Structure 1
Amino acid sequence: MTILIAGGGLSGLSLAAHLVARPEPLGPIIVVDDGRRPLATAGWASWSVEPGLLDEAVSRTFDRFHVHAAGRSRVVGLGRYKYRFVRGDDLAAAVGKAAARRGDVVFRRGRITDIRQAGQGAEAIVDGEVSRADWIFDSVHRPHPARVDGWLIFRGWHVRTADPAFDSAVPTFFDFRTAQNRGASFVYVLPRGPREALVEYTSFAPPRSRGVAYPQEQRTALREYLTTVLGVREYAVTREESASLPLSASAVDRRRGSILAIGTKAGLVKASTGYAFQRIQADSAAIARSLACRGHPFDLPTPKARHLLFDATLLDVVARDPAQLERVFAALFDRSSAEPVLRFLDEESSLPQEGKLFARLPPSLYSAVRRRPR
């Protein structure tokens, strides 16, 4: 069995790690990436209860975070959960180390211009040449989900301040004390120390926005947050990052013969949060298990209808009334522990547990969820 992974980013490297972690040999495995997006500048945060396969790549761990919504600030514990941050170069190093132990993984630099079915297998055109495989996992070539229910648009500054400005032990999960000009917006802060942090301005935008960002407005919001909300008098922006992610609350048709979409292309970004790291890990583990036990990668869990319903309802309501996002977040996180909310966002909660969460939601959203057919 020959496996080709198109793309060496988060989803491609995660799948490679889970494939080589299986006791059964599943290779050879070829990971093809064009190198246009260096992993050294990438990073991902996520929450989980149990340690994960790639915990070796975790550089920071938190057990609580700060939230500010509806005029109230509080620090919320995470219960059994931990909030973990993984740097791109640490992820690459961990996967490379695991691959070296197996010896059947090849990391190849190249640009993929096409991926197509070919007989019983598939083939990718890499730098003009044909590379054949039994299975191809595509994180780069296939377009995003056809249906877009909203956009997550963010711009982040990596800042260094002259004086201490951040709590090293507590990230800010969301802070709504910022401009709401073009959609529901908040600021996220991931500290690296008392004088260093990633400060990110994030907006949920409706489908009609087409993911168009407004850089100057975003930068103005970041400046105002640093100087007015945090009271920072002197700072330097060491790096800027930005993206517009399509959000879909519908199941994605991922399969084309022997080709399977993975990562963002597979709709694994959670529509109501914009998080994907743990979903990609679970999906990668399921693909590896299916290949080992079934001989194909398609024995995967299906999305739960009621969670897709919540995601779709939230995006719909926020598109019509952006202020609803702050009300929803304020209601969900008005508790001493975020564990029930994180369990729900992980789609691992029971119906009774979800009923208790929904009882706290603003009546307009709660009514919309009840009116929609399941």
Structure 2
Amino acid sequence: MRAWSGPVDGGIAVLGAGLSGLSLAAHLAAVPARPGPVVLVDDGARDIRDAGWAFWSRRSGLLDAAVSARFARIRVHAGGRARTLGLGRYRYGVVRGADLASVVGEVTDRVDDIGLRTGRVTQVHDGARPRVALSDGTELHPEWVFDGRGPDADDRGTSPDAWLDFRGWRIRTEAPLFDPDVPTLFDFRTDQRRAASFVYVLPTDTRHALVEHTSFAHPDGGPVGTAAHDEALREYLAAVLGADEDTYVVEADESARLPLASRPPARRSGNIVRIGAAGGMLKGSSGYAYQRIQCDSAAIAQSLARHGHPFDVRPAPSRFARYDQGLLRAVVERPAVLERAFAGLFDRSSAEPILRFLDEESTWRDEAALFASLPAAPLLRAMAGR
């Protein structure tokens, strides 16, 4: 993305060049009209090229050139059974940060009024027109501000219903242990005593994969911790994959602790709009955000082009927030519920109905069919708040 060095008076300021900021900039570049220039502001503290995301979708998208791998099947292991499911019209995709940044640059460089300004945001003031103060003493005066700096940028976020706490190893094995055509979305053959946990395996080829240990932690509890995650990963590699510590190399590792909230946060304050995780795009019951951010970015850009404001964005039906809240409450209070629920949900030949439900595009009839496979008593108690 080209550098922006001039003043900003009117137009759009996008704060943060992470996933949500880059995605919105690209979608703004793709619409025929924008209310003035678009300036992406980032302090350069985090290198997005080292990041990565997975998602599912049944539609083509603006940034599909950034997808490095697509899968038509997934594997799950829950309730003592292994299953391989087709995805129907969906595909499971992987995006690397370096590829995303490159593709976004190609899209934004086609227009003259979009650029990147390096700087640290110190304050964002609302008013008749927002003011964005930078650490070098300068101010931007855009018409609209889209804040993608994350839930910790200010104190307006919603308290989480649970934490998604994970740590992953990128490993290389001596023996060919992985099926490069089928990722494992969850495998519950790991210790469940501390929290509802599973292992995720995303293969690159037969000897390389991301192996990740994920836990749904209580909202008032502390992090699982590196030592506990690493112990679970070693046990999984040895007991499930048959890989002793001298038969694989950990080439890189990654960790995160994401707040999962079922209640959507307040996104707007005047002409300041929160995007990305801070704007509620992290799905409470799954922890996935990539595709939700793409859809939200496209809707915001199209609304600005058609109406001059970003608010013609279809909200999800409120019942999905209640579903997320019930599941998260049940899982943190009774960790065994997660494996039982997933074993029931994925006991079918195709994962398409589940993915449609997680995309909040299912009908009442679809949901009734899915819920019939769930452990009803603990979920109903959780949804009732008891």
Q: Tell me the TM-score normalised to structure 1 length.
A: 0.96
* 2:200 aligned residue: 188
Once the 2 structures are TM-superposed, how far is the Cα of residue 230 of structure 1 from its aligned partner? 0.5
Confirm or deny: 8 A CA contact 1:112 1:127 kept in the other structure: no
Once the 2 structures are TM-superposed, how far is the Cα of residue 108 of structure 1 from its aligned partner? 2.0
Structure 2 counterpart SS, 1:313: helix
* 1:14 aligned residue: 23
Question: How far apart, CA to CA, are the structure 2 residues paired with 1:359 and 1:189?
Answer: 28
Confirm or deny: 8 A CA contact 1:186 1:201 kept in the other structure: yes
Once the 2 structures are TM-superposed, how far is the Cα of residue 124 of structure 1 from its aligned partner? 3.5
* 1:90 aligned residue: 99
Q: Does 1:219 align with 2:223?
A: no
Find 1:197's aligned residue among 192, 201, 209: 209
Q: CA, structure 1 residues 270+171, in 2 after alignment: closer, same or farther (shift >3 Å)?
A: same
Q: Does 1:2 align with 2:15?
A: no
Q: Does 1:356 align with 2:365?
A: no
Once the 2 structures are TM-superposed, how far is the Cα of residue 367 of structure 1 from its aligned partner? 3.3
Question: How far apart, CA to CA, are the structure 2 residues paired with 1:181 and 1:225?
Answer: 15
Give % identity. Answer: 51
Once the 2 structures are TM-superposed, how far is the Cα of residue 308 of structure 1 from its aligned partner? 0.5
**Counterpart residue identity of residue 21, structure 1:** A
Q: CA, structure 1 residues 126+304, in 2 after alignment: closer, same or farther (shift >3 Å)?
A: farther
Question: How far apart, CA to CA, are the structure 2 residues paired with 1:181 and 1:54?
Answer: 41
Confirm or deny: 8 A CA contact 2:180 2:205 kept in the other structure: yes
Instruction: Give CA-to-partner distance per residue, 1:224-267, whole Å, 9 cap, x none.
Output: 11121111131111111111111111121111111100001112
Once the 2 structures are TM-superposed, how far is the Cα of residue 35 of structure 1 from its aligned partner? 1.8
Greater shift, 259-268 or 120-129, is seen at: 120-129
Q: CA, structure 1 residues 156+185, in 2 after alignment: closer, same or farther (shift >3 Å)?
A: same
Question: How far apart, CA to CA, are the structure 2 residues paired with 1:20 and 1:365?
Answer: 47
* 1:319 aligned residue: 332
Structure 2 counterpart SS, 1:136: strand
Find 2:175's aligned residue among 163, 173, 179: 163
Once the 2 structures are TM-superposed, how far is the Cα of residue 131 of structure 1 from its aligned partner? 1.8
Confirm or deny: 8 A CA contact 1:60 1:85 kept in the other structure: yes
Counterparts in 2 of 1:136-175, with a 5 A limit?
A: 136-140=145-149, 141-143=153-155, 145-175=157-187
Question: How far apart, CA to CA, are the structure 1 residues paired with 2:145 and 2:371?
Answer: 41
After TM superposition, where is structure 1 displaced by more than 6 Å over at least 4 residues in a row?
none
Confirm or deny: 8 A CA contact 1:166 1:196 kept in the other structure: yes
Question: How far apart, CA to CA, are the structure 1 residues paired with 2:313 and 2:177?
Answer: 45
RMSD, aligned α-carbons: 1.7
Counterparts in 2 of 1:1-374, with a 5 A limit?
A: 1-140=10-149, 141-143=153-155, 145-209=157-221, 212-233=223-244, 234-368=247-381, 371=384
Question: How far apart, CA to CA, are the structure 1 residues paired with 2:367 and 2:131?
Answer: 42
Instruction: Give CA-to-partner distance per residue, 1:287-326, whole Å, 9 cap, x none.
Output: 1111111211122222321111110000111111001000
Confirm or deny: 8 A CA contact 1:32 1:109 kept in the other structure: yes
Question: How far apart, CA to CA, are the structure 2 residues paired with 1:328 and 1:125?
Answer: 48
Confirm or deny: 8 A CA contact 1:144 1:246 kept in the other structure: no
Question: How far apart, CA to CA, are the structure 2 residues paired with 1:161 and 1:303?
Answer: 43
Question: How far apart, CA to CA, are the structure 2 residues paired with 1:196 and 1:324?
Answer: 32
Aligned residues: 372
Question: How far apart, CA to CA, are the structure 2 residues paired with 1:242 and 1:91?
Answer: 20
Question: How far apart, CA to CA, are the structure 2 residues paired with 1:36 and 1:229?
Answer: 38
Question: How far apart, CA to CA, are the structure 2 residues paired with 1:69 and 1:124?
Answer: 50
Q: CA, structure 1 residues 144+200, in 2 after alignment: closer, same or farther (shift >3 Å)?
A: farther
Structure 1 counterpart SS, 2:204: strand
Instruction: Give CA-to-partner distance per residue, 1:153-188, whole Å, 9 cap, x none.
Output: 110111111111111000000000012242100000
Question: How far apart, CA to CA, are the structure 1 residues paired with 2:237 and 2:29?
Answer: 44
Any unmatched runs of 5+ in structure 2?
Answer: 1-9
Instruction: Give CA-to-partner distance per residue, 1:311-360, whole Å, 9 cap, x none.
Output: 00001111110010000011000100000000000000000111000011
Question: How far apart, CA to CA, are the structure 2 residues paired with 1:251 and 1:117?
Answer: 21
Question: How far apart, CA to CA, are the structure 2 residues paired with 1:153 and 1:308?
Answer: 21
* 2:6 aligned residue: none
Structure 1 counterpart SS, 2:286: coil
**Counterpart residue identity of residue 182, structure 1:** R
Q: Tell me the TM-score normalised to structure 2 length.
A: 0.93
Confirm or deny: 8 A CA contact 1:145 1:248 kept in the other structure: no
**Counterpart residue identity of residue 161, structure 1:** T
Confirm or deny: 8 A CA contact 2:26 2:107 kept in the other structure: yes
Once the 2 structures are TM-superposed, how far is the Cα of residue 146 of structure 1 from its aligned partner? 2.5
